[in-house]
Amino acid sequence: MRSFIKTFEQFVAEEAINAGPESEVVIDDMITHNGTEISSEEILGIVISSDNDKQVEDKIREKYGELAFSTEDISKVISYYNDYNAEIKEKEKEEEKEAEGGEGDDPLAGI
């Protein structure tokens, strides 16, 4: 019988996904209090389709029930949302700076 040793990245990849190809936000599967497993893909869909953290919470509670998650679980999903949006906003800032000529980061760039 053969046994295989997985790297940390291989192990994590089985139960988690990144929020996008260039994203550093890693979303894990979750299990509700009643034992329902929610895939990381479903959580990502909720995160991406929400306009604010309140909407994230409302969508989760509506879909899986008011008491399906602990406060800690809800906080974790909201942190995924906040981290994902922070990345989006940072990317938008970088694109704006590039459109303006890239000035702003380097105070000596105009010399």
pTM of the model: 0.69
What's the pLDDT tens digit per position in 39-85? 999 999 999 999 999 999 999 999 988 888 888 889 999 999 999 99
Domain boundaries, the chain: 8-93
What's the pLDDT tens digit per position in 3-52? 445 455 544 445 676 666 677 888 889 888 878 888 999 999 999 999 99
pLDDT at 81: 95
In whole angstroms, give the CA distance from residue 95 to residue 81.
Answer: 21
Strands (E), the chain: 16-18, 26-28, 30-31, 37-38
